[in-house]
Structure 1
Amino acid sequence: MAQKVIELPAAATSSSDSKASAAVFFIPKSVITELYTSGISVGTANTATNPLDVIKVRLQLARNQAAVGTKPPGMVATGISVVRNEGVAALWSGLGPSLARGFFFGGARLGLYTPIKTVICGDNVRPSLEMKVLSGSLSGGLAAAVTSPIELIKTRLQAAGRDPTAAKTSMGVIRAVVSQDGVAGLWKGAMPGLIRSAILTAAQCATYDEVKRGVVATTGWGDGVSLHLTSSMIAGLVTTTITNPIDVIKTRMFVGGKSYSGPIACASHVLKTDGLIGFMKGWSASYARLGPHTVIMFLAAERLRKYAGLQSL
């Protein structure tokens, strides 16, 4: 088939036009690749750590469910109780929404980090820590705002336990929430979730980014598993500590529905009933989950990025 060839003036074939052409065709393709490689890596991490996520949710709600004067069980006791009373499969409750959330939410918050950082700082400028934090905050906040209903469904399924009145399917949760609070109820807890996601992504990605370069400068390691493992373990520790208070508020709002008028009211209730230590409720389970989750996520992401032809994080 004959092709119509349009000749352009020399000025139109300058390097500036080449850059514009690259911007039109390369950036969308790279962003899509960023999103699906990130989504797969987060989904893999979610599947492996779902049991720890269930235990974390149960721990954070234990104070509300325990009898007055009774000390809530710890992480191991909670896990044993779930298996004994509900079976091993209960540790994977909420896995469907978790995978959906991992692919869409996780893919967006991690996948948009590098493109946003590039837009803010440019290709040839080494980003400062502040710029990395800003990039992570924007990608995490945007992802959370869109996918908050999926997080609400996942959390309610994980918190349901053997409660006969609690919905046991995703559609059941949606119907129950809409019936009680209207469609807007699907975004109940969205604000603390958005704040947590912005802080989580900023802490996770910026810490990993900074630590990775610090480890390279200190040890001289090349871009490999040892470097990725060390950096992601430290990132997981920092991220868990920073986000746990917001995670406690988000979990209680997701499950409590209209029990709290907003994040501040929920935080006040936590402070009044449990003191400051209440904001660290479930920290051990959070780290037991988020630590390995961060490691698996970054190890998978780095490998997938290499196969996809993307630069290392």
Structure 2
Amino acid sequence: MAAQKVIELPAATSDSKPASAAAVFFIPKSVITELYTSGISVGTANTITNPLDVVKVRLQLARNQVAVGAKPPGMIQTGINVVRNEGVVALWSGLGPSLARGFFFGGARLGLYTPIKTMICGETARPSLEMKVLSGSLSGGLAAAVTSPIELIKTRLQAAGRDPAVPKTSMGVIRQVVAADGVAGLWKGAMPGLIRSAILTAAQCATYDEVKRGVVKATGWHDGVSLHLTSSMIAGLVTTTITNPIDVIKTRMFVGGQTYSGPIACAAHVLKQDGLYGFMKGWSASYARLGPHTVIMFLTAERLRKATGLQSL
């Protein structure tokens, strides 16, 4: 693995004091490149698909905001209601933390996938599907554990609407959460978020990895837009379906604060209130967002990786 020298302390000479701290620190250049190219890729995808993320969050919470017996609005009507009541700018609610999350969380979960896979399987071995899933789970879980507060802030800002009691800035959300639940409250919903991220990254990266090689074998296509587009579209469909139930629980816990004692209590509430269908609430909006998000992310990542000399995903 190539390495970039960061700091080099000169060795002691004969006329200097004995050096007890002559040292050289190295940061793997390939890992740094993986992280920043992945961060840019996910940040770009987050910016373009933020309106769909807002609609998805509102759909997942709509069941709690309509009269008993009333039917919540669908995806298109939800989007229209947001624009009509709050203006077009509301579709980019939470963009600041979304970008921060994209660069840090997205960069880590996608950027660490290949290094972890290489570390587990070695430079020359061809990883099995199980090893790809394990690598994605580790990179996604690690990234989510660190950046969960950013996700909480983003979700609350997107769910705020015109409610005057809900802060409209990141610092406002932080102050409200800390005042109500302490600093630990910033990690409320972290467990379903961590599980979702591990499953999301495993499904997204492993599916893309496997499908891409399958498409190459079936069609003979070389690395290019057609191959990347086809593989990422299928990866987006699989990922949305697998992660939607966890996404519903995560969203409700992020917004509900102390309403739920934990993920199991939240899941039981969803099941009792809406049945199994409740776990697929917002699937259309999730796919409308995660499908294009996955495509944009992988297309951008592949081009950045090629430009920076990294191997194709």
Alignment TM-score, normalising by the size of structure 2: 0.92
1: CA distance, partners of 2:151 / 2:45: 16
Matches within 5 A, 1:223-262: 223-262=223-262
- The match for 1:14 is none
* Pairwise CA distance, 1:103: 0.2
Matches within 5 A, 1:145-184: 145-184=145-184
* Pairwise CA distance, 1:202: 0.0
- Equivalent residue of 1:241, what SS? helix
- The match for 1:54 is 54
- The match for 2:121 is 121
2: CA distance, partners of 1:253 / 1:275: 18
Amino acid at match of 1:128: S
* Pairwise CA distance, 1:254: 0.1
- Equivalent residue of 2:140, what SS? helix
* Pairwise CA distance, 1:193: 0.0
Equivalent pairs counted in the alignment come to: 292
Amino acid at match of 2:202: A
- The match for 2:16 is none
Amino acid at match of 2:232: S
Amino acid at match of 1:246: I
2: CA distance, partners of 1:48 / 1:92: 9
2: CA distance, partners of 1:209 / 1:188: 32
2: CA distance, partners of 1:66 / 1:195: 29
1: CA distance, partners of 2:66 / 2:118: 49
| Pairing 1:284–2:281 present | no
Matches within 5 A, 1:174-213: 174-213=174-213
- The match for 1:16 is none
2: CA distance, partners of 1:115 / 1:41: 17
Amino acid at match of 1:113: Y
2: CA distance, partners of 1:192 / 1:278: 16
Amino acid at match of 2:230: T
1: CA distance, partners of 2:257 / 2:56: 19
* Pairwise CA distance, 1:312: 0.1
1: CA distance, partners of 2:70 / 2:167: 27
- The match for 2:17 is none
- The match for 2:3 is none
2: CA distance, partners of 1:120 / 1:225: 29
| Pairing 1:217–2:214 present | no
- The match for 2:64 is 64
* Percent identity for Structure 1 against Structure 2: 89
- The match for 2:268 is 268
* Pairwise CA distance, 1:28: 1.1
* 1:208-230: CA deviation from partner (whole Å, max 9, x where unpaired): 00000000000000000000000
- Equivalent residue of 2:63, what SS? helix
* Pairwise CA distance, 1:191: 0.1
Amino acid at match of 1:230: T
- The match for 1:28 is 28
* Pairwise CA distance, 1:171: 0.1
1: CA distance, partners of 2:199 / 2:214: 21
* 1:19-71: CA deviation from partner (whole Å, max 9, x where unpaired): xxxxx85x711000000000000000000000000000000000011110100
2: CA distance, partners of 1:238 / 1:296: 16
* Pairwise CA distance, 1:201: 0.0
- The match for 1:9 is none
Matches within 5 A, 1:288-307: 288-307=288-307
* Pairwise CA distance, 1:162: 0.4
Alignment TM-score, normalising by the size of structure 1: 0.92
* Pairwise CA distance, 1:235: 0.1
- Equivalent residue of 2:64, what SS? helix
How much is the aligned-residue C-alpha RMSD, in angstroms? Answer: 1.3
2: CA distance, partners of 1:143 / 1:156: 20
1: CA distance, partners of 2:66 / 2:146: 34
2: CA distance, partners of 1:67 / 1:148: 32
Q: Report the structure, 1 or 2, having the larger helix content.
A: 1
Q: Which runs of structure 1 show a deviation greater than 4 angstroms over 4 or more consecutive aligned residues?
A: none
Structure 1, unaligned runs of 5 or more: 5-23
1: CA distance, partners of 2:280 / 2:142: 26
Amino acid at match of 1:119: M
- Equivalent residue of 1:65, what SS? coil
- The match for 1:44 is 44
Amino acid at match of 1:219: T
* 1:180-213: CA deviation from partner (whole Å, max 9, x where unpaired): 0000000000000000000000000000000000
